[in-house]
């Protein structure tokens, strides 16, 4: 995957992974989250299908730690079985579960508003501080927002570099929120919403140097759900 992407996920870019059900898209998202969080860098994981579980992330983090220990590499920097690994990894991952594409857009809008408030845009660098949402894994829909929209708990600071806000933004998956709209007589509205999501993800990536990973679903062998390219 790193070779295909020319070195892996990069800050300031959006990578869309498209595939059939059970093709490994969520596993890739969880692995990216585990690796990023293992370095002490913040992750905002938008889980639209209920596939995120702390246990799966920890298994991936432990496997990478063991591989790094065997190979003498750096990587996560924790030996397998280190009791601090769980708190380190899960403490850097915030999860939000929007129930609709409108809630997803609301999450992204509020994330950008918070990043703007913290002065992270346009290449500015600001020392990190703990903000509401740090380490709030498992945030559920209806987290205190009007209309049941979940809070975007992505404003935690990096343990690694004092950066405020997520280093990695994962959306798994955008098609889960749009499939009913795109497959109905509301197709035009669904396409417009998909374009809006893609535009917002690209804007967040470029303005705030966030690596964005989004998954989409193949609906047939010859027709793919159009993705969040913006």
User: Residue 149 sits in which domain range?
Assistant: 14-51+92-217
Out of 1-10, 39-48, 140-149, least confident range: 140-149
132-170 residues labelled b (16+ CB within 10 A) or e (exposed): ebbebbebeeebeeeeebbbbbbbbbbbeeebbbbbbbb
pLDDT in tens, 93-132: 999 999 999 999 999 999 999 999 987 544 444 433 333 3
Q: Does the structure show a pLDDT above 50 at 143?
A: no
In a domain, 194, yes or no: yes
Higher pLDDT, 77 or 191: 191
CATH number at residue 162: 3.40.50.300
pLDDT in tens, 195-205: 999 999 999 99
Q: Does the structure show a pLDDT above 80 at 217?
A: yes
Q: Does the structure show a pLDDT above 80 at 6?
A: yes
In a domain, 133, yes or no: yes
| Token pair recorded at residue 17 | 């992974």
For tokens 């990578």, what's the residue? 15
Whole-number pLDDT of residue 141: 33
Residue 23 burial by Cβ neighbours in a 10 Å radius (0-12, 13-18, 19+): middle
Q: How far is CA 17 from CA 14, 108, 194, in A?
A: 10, 19, 15
In a domain, 42, yes or no: yes
pLDDT in tens, 53-101: 999 999 999 998 888 777 655 555 555 556 788 999 999 999 999 999 9
Closest alpha carbon to 129 in 138, 121, 120: 120
Whole-number pLDDT of residue 161: 53
In a domain, 60, yes or no: no
Closest alpha carbon to 169 in 39, 23, 11: 11
Whole-number pLDDT of residue 224: 45
In a domain, 119, yes or no: yes
Whole-number pLDDT of residue 228: 47
Q: How far is CA 18 from CA 65, 93, 132, in A?
A: 28, 23, 33
In a domain, 192, yes or no: yes
Q: Does the structure show a pLDDT above 60 at 133?
A: no
In a domain, 72, yes or no: no
Number of domains in the chain: 1
| Token pair recorded at residue 193 | 């919403």
Which neighbouring-strand residues pair with 212?
A: 14, 169
Whole-number pLDDT of residue 75: 52
């Amino acid at each position: 995957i790193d070779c295909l992407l020319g070195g892996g996920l990069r800050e300031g870019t959006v990578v869309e992974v498209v595939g059939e059900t059970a093709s490994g898209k969520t596993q890739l998202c969880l692995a990216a989250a585990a690796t990023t969080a293992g370095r002490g860098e913040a992750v905002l994981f938008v889980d639209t299908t209920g596939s995120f579980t702390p246990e799966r992330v920890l298994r991936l983090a432990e496997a990478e730690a063991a591989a790094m220990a065997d190979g003498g590499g750096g990587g996560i920097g924790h030996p397998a079985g280190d009791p601090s690994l769980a708190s380190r990894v899960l403490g850097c991952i915030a999860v939000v579960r929007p129930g609709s594409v409108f809630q997803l857009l609301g999450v992204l809008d509020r994330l950008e508003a918070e990043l703007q408030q913290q002065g992270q845009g346009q290449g500015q660098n600001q020392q990190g501080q703990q903000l509401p949402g740090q380490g709030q894994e498992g945030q559920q829909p209806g987290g205190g927002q009007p209309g049941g929209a979940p809070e975007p708990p992505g404003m935690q600071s990096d343990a690694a570099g004092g950066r405020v806000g997520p280093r990695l933004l994962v959306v798994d998956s955008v098609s889960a929120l749009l499939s009913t709209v795109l497959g109905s007589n509301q197709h035009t509205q669904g396409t417009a919403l998909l374009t809006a999501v893609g535009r917002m993800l690209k804007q967040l990536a470029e303005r705030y140097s966030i690596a964005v990973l989004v998954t989409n679903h193949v609906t047939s062998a010859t027709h793919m759900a159009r993705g969040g390219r913006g």
